[in-house]
Amino acid sequence: MRLILASASERRAEILRDAGFSFMQLTSAIDETPYPGETTHDLVQRLATAKAELVAARAVGPAIVIAADTEVTLDGHIFGKPRSSDDARHMLEKLSGRTHAVVTGVALIRLPDADRRTFVESTLVQFAALSGEEITRYLATGEPHDKAGAYGIQGRAGRFIPRIEGCYFNVVGLPLARLQHSLTELGWSED
Q: Looking at the annotation, which residues are catalytic?
A: 69
Three state DSSP letters for the chain? CEEEECCCCHHHHHHHHHCCCCCEECCCCCCCCCCCCCCHHHHHHHHHHHHHHHHHCCCCCCEEEEEEEEEEEECCEEECCCCCHHHHHHHHHHHCCCEEEEEEEEEEEEECCCEEEEEEEEEEEECCCCCHHHHHHHHHCCHHHHCHHHCCCCCHHHHHCCEEECCHHHHHCCCHHHHHHHHHHCCCCCC
